[in-house]
Chains A and B, each alone.
Chain A
Amino acid sequence: MKRTNPVKFWAQRLSLRHVLTGMVLLWVLLLILFPLGGMFQKVLAAEPVSCLKSLLAPSARLSFKLTFWLTLGAVILNTFFGLVIALILVRQNFRGKLLLEGLIDLPFAVSPVVTGFMFITLFGNNSIMGHFFDEKGIRIIYAFPGMMLVTLFVTFPFVIREIVPVLKEYGVEQEESAYVLGASSWQTFRKVTLPSIKWGLLYGITLTIARSIGEFGAVLVVSGAIINKTQTATLYVHQQFTDFNYTGAFAAASVLALISFVFIMMIQFSQKKVKGGTWE
């Protein structure tokens, strides 16, 4: 009876494909799934009633509401201006284009602490802008506008970076044909350009939503963390954690993660599948 060497046995059956897939899955498991799972497990282990109670508390609800409005504002403004900037970047030629490209990526280079610090320097009591707005009676920092600005800053690049490659790929021929046929710029944009960048745009919006929901460092510095007024969901999680209310903290954090995850999964599943790929 021939003795089979187990190593040889498996080596014959497992190809590079399997090994690589296995290793990658293990990596994802250890780095992402495991910590996340641990967090969800802690939430599920706690009494669901107390979890629910802490989630429905006024300060929790208000913090989620605040995050909602900040996210909505970021999505609307950064999508609108993102489209404008992307169109300029791809369809037009002008001096300083390289500088523009660099500026778009700048928010990635700035640490959240520094972001908050910059806006405090810009709009604080001791600055020109600060005095200007103070005279008008408008509060920028330690109030909603400051938090909105900071959220806009950190989520600025996402939509642009997703649309630009698609626009570049797409080319101008169809748009030019539309012009020749008599369509106005707006019509061309709406009926020709927009549908072609649809998936890039939606993905950029999803990333904007996810980043905006999860932003912590910059908002911490710029908001004053006034309970029920300038406390976002992430600041609420932080507060709960420092109050030793771990259940409340993890419950809220899980909700935030789930919301982002839902948006991301929706993009995944609603895209037309292309051979082996995961988006067009």
Chain B
Amino acid sequence: MKSSTNWPMKTECLRKNVFCLRGLAVGYIGFLILLPIAALGASAFHSGPGAIWRETTLLRSMASLKLTFILALMTVILNIFTGTATAWVLVRYEFPCKKFINGLIDLPFAIPTVVTGIMLVVLYGPNSMIGAVLGRFGLEIIFNQPGIVLALLFVTFPFVIRAVQPVLIEMEKDLEEAAMTLGASPFQIFFKVVLPTLLPAILTGAALSFSRALGEFGSVVIVAGNIPFKTLTAPVYIYGEIESGNLTGATSVSLVLLTLSFSILVLIHFIQRWSRCHETD
């Protein structure tokens, strides 16, 4: 017969485990995540807040931040619609090759960003079939802002979809069915029943897309013209400042970009918590 559990020893053991685990976690995160960010911050303040302000408010650095923000926003808005629709189709409908398509969603993670840029230039550039056709209508995608949005759409493709899918799967259909029996149209059901449940997930995916789009480098540097004020995004601007030895400039804009992306993520966390609290009503 098994002896009864020795509770004092068990709790002591568990407590030791807890501290062990916490220590490990804190150590890892501290070393891997916090330390590099702190180094960046330290290097920024080493140059002095005045220099940081001056570098950040340079016309061309502000222009790159503004451009990045606007293009990322456009990407996110497109992703919200197409991502939700794609998730809906993948969860609710059946069609041939569904598993294949579902696997493809994660593929942008696997493609090196530089390859994405090259692919887009080769396929939609002026020398290509499509590029030539569009060129006749005066539409130039590659090396212009639409090309940047295209690259950003590619690399941020999975975020909204993968955030929304689990929620859709979890969702119980009885609320929708109830609404249907009460005479609601499909659109009404979607907007009043489904969408509110999906909203936190959509926002999470949107925030991740936005952060990724703000920071995207490898594909944008190839697909954009990199002309200051017109097609020069913040990450490419930062890279240029690093390469030309202006480390203060690079550090300042990096910090601004980082703060912007991180704030969006934190905001979404708060929205999620708030929505969870209200869910229990």
Partner pick for B17 among A185, A257, A264, CB 8 A cutoff? A185
| Stretch among B58-66, B114-122, B132-140, B192-200 lining the A interface | B114-122
Q: Which residue of A lies closest to B273 (CB)?
A: A98
1/0 per residue, CB under 8 A from A, across B194-233: the answer is: 0000000000000010011011111000000000000000
A87 within 8 A of B: yes
Please report the C-alpha to C-alpha distance between residue A249 and residue B5 in the assembled complex, in whole angstroms. Answer: 62
A73 within 8 A of B: no
Please report the C-alpha to C-alpha distance between residue A121 and residue B45 in the assembled complex, in whole angstroms. Answer: 13
B21 within 8 A of A: yes
| A206 / chain B contacts, CB cutoff of 8 Å | 106
B104 within 8 A of A: yes
* B32 and A249 contact, CB distance less than 8 A: no
Partner pick for A117 among B211, B216, B242, CB 8 A cutoff? B242
* B106 and A207 contact, CB distance less than 8 A: yes
| A253 / chain B contacts, CB cutoff of 8 Å | 111-112, 115
Please report the C-alpha to C-alpha distance between residue A119 and residue B85 in the assembled complex, in whole angstroms. Answer: 39
Please report the C-alpha to C-alpha distance between residue A260 and residue B22 in the assembled complex, in whole angstroms. Answer: 33
B102 within 8 A of A: yes
Please report the C-alpha to C-alpha distance between residue A27 and residue B104 in the assembled complex, in whole angstroms. Answer: 12
* A85 and B262 contact, CB distance less than 8 A: no
* B212 and A268 contact, CB distance less than 8 A: no
Please report whether the interface of chain B is mostly helix, strand, loop or mixed according to DSSP. helix
* A28 and B266 contact, CB distance less than 8 A: no
| Stretch among B34-42, B48-56, B174-182 lining the A interface | B34-42
* A264 and B103 contact, CB distance less than 8 A: yes
* A36 and B214 contact, CB distance less than 8 A: no
A137 within 8 A of B: no
| B261 / chain A contacts, CB cutoff of 8 Å | 108-110
| A88 / chain B contacts, CB cutoff of 8 Å | 21-22, 25
Q: Which of B64-109 contact A (CB under 8 A)?
A: 82, 85-86, 88-95, 99-109
* A278 and B107 contact, CB distance less than 8 A: no
- A118-B37 contact in complex given A25-B101, A253-B115, C-beta closer than 8 Å: yes
Q: Which of A30-77 contact B (CB under 8 A)?
A: 31-36, 38-39, 42
Q: Which of A86-111 contact B (CB under 8 A)?
A: 87-88, 92, 94, 98, 100-111
* B114 and A103 contact, CB distance less than 8 A: no
* B95 and A113 contact, CB distance less than 8 A: no
* B106 and A210 contact, CB distance less than 8 A: yes
Partner pick for A153 among B36, B112, B113, B234, CB 8 A cutoff? B36
A16 within 8 A of B: yes
Please report the C-alpha to C-alpha distance between residue A172 and residue B154 in the assembled complex, in whole angstroms. Answer: 39
| A195 / chain B contacts, CB cutoff of 8 Å | none
1/0 per residue, CB under 8 A from A, across B12-29: the answer is: 011001100110110011
* B39 and A278 contact, CB distance less than 8 A: no
A127 within 8 A of B: yes
| Residues of B within 8 A of A (CB-CB), count | 88
* A114 and B169 contact, CB distance less than 8 A: no
* B110 and A213 contact, CB distance less than 8 A: yes
Name the residue in A32, A100, A249, A279 with the highest tally of chain B Cβ atoms < 10 Å from its Cβ: A32
- A16-B186 contact in complex given A32-B107, A108-B211, A217-B218, C-beta closer than 8 Å: yes
Please report the C-alpha to C-alpha distance between residue A213 and residue B216 in the assembled complex, in whole angstroms. Answer: 17
A182 within 8 A of B: yes
- A21-B93 contact in complex given A109-B211, A253-B115, C-beta closer than 8 Å: yes
B2 within 8 A of A: yes
Q: Which of A163-201 contact B (CB under 8 A)?
A: 165, 179-180, 182, 184-185
Please report the C-alpha to C-alpha distance between residue A17 and residue B103 in the assembled complex, in whole angstroms. Answer: 21
A122 within 8 A of B: yes
B164 within 8 A of A: no
- A185-B14 contact in complex given A35-B119, A84-B21, A127-B39, C-beta closer than 8 Å: yes
Name the residue in A35, A88, A111 with the highest tally of chain B Cβ atoms < 10 Å from its Cβ: A111
Closest chain-B Cβ to A169's Cβ sits at a distance in Å of 9
* A214 and B113 contact, CB distance less than 8 A: yes
* B169 and A278 contact, CB distance less than 8 A: yes
B238 within 8 A of A: yes
Partner pick for A111 among B106, B122, B166, B214, CB 8 A cutoff? B214
Closest chain-A Cβ to B253's Cβ sits at a distance in Å of 9
- 8 closest Cβ pairs, A-B complex: A260-B110, A111-B215, A109-B261, A118-B36, A277-B169, A122-B39, A234-B112, A35-B119
26 A-B pairs with CB atoms under 8 Å apart are A24-B82, A28-B86, A35-B116, A85-B29, A94-B22, A109-B262, A114-B235, A114-B238, A117-B238, A117-B242, A118-B36, A121-B39, A121-B43, A122-B39, A207-B106, A216-B112, A216-B218, A217-B235, A234-B115, A256-B111, A257-B110, A261-B110, A265-B100, A276-B91, A276-B94, A279-B169
Name 7 extra pairs, CB < 8 A, besides A108-B212, A153-B33: A16-B186, A88-B22, A210-B106, A216-B112, A217-B235, A238-B112, A256-B111
